[in-house]
Structure 1
Amino acid sequence: MLVSKWGNSLAVRLPKALFDELGLKEGDEIDIVATRKGAIEIETKAEQRRRAIENMEARNWAALPAGYKFDRDEANER
């Protein structure tokens, strides 16, 4: 793959075979979550959300008190 200039960043084009192997499609947002010795691991936003929810459930953070209602204005008060 060729590293190319894209605006103020550098970019690489991924081959279609890699997209197919990873189950990615146009428009998917991904994060590079780890790099080591020439290997790259990616995670889609959907996978990241799923993992975060699993972590919250494992710590019982996902359970909210009965009658809880999020109030955006109250949360943003300074």
Structure 2
Amino acid sequence: MQVSKWGNSLAIRLPAAVVEALELHEGDDVDVVVAGAREFQIKKKPTSRELLERLRQYRGRLPADFTFSRDDANRND
């Protein structure tokens, strides 16, 4: 990959193999994080639809011994 100037920023083009592996499409959000002294990682951010679907998996699933205390929840320690 080659670093190029893009306005006031620097940009890289992702190789087709990376795009395919992460199933990226135009407009997708990605995180680029430093993974080491001279390494980085690219992670595809989940879409809002994917996050909502993951959240729905937990709907109504609380431990049998769970109790909710409004006093504990609203206490200012």
Superposition TM-score, scaled by structure 1 size: 0.52
Number of residue-to-residue matches in the alignment: 53
Unaligned runs of 5+ in 1: 61-78
Unaligned runs of 5+ in 2: 63-77
2:11 and 2:5 mapped to 1: Cα distance?
A: 6
2:10 and 2:35 mapped to 1: Cα distance?
A: 19
What is the percentage of aligned positions where both structures have the same residue?
38
CA deviation map 1:29-70 (0-9, x unaligned): 2232x32111313232517x728x74xx6xx9xxxxxxxxxx
Query: Higher RCO, 1 or 2 (CA under 8 Å, sep at least 6)?
Result: 2
Q: What is the match of residue 4 of structure 1?
A: 4
Distance change >3 Å, CA 24–CA 40, structure 1 → 2: same
Q: What is the match of residue 41 of structure 2?
A: 40
Is contact 1:3-1:11 (8 Å) kept?
A: yes
Give the greater-gyration-radius structure (CA): 2
1:6 and 1:45 mapped to 2: Cα distance?
A: 26
> Larger % of helix: which?
1
Structure 2 counterpart of 1:35, one-letter code: V
C-alpha RMSD of matched pairs (Å): 2.7
Superposition TM-score, scaled by structure 2 size: 0.52
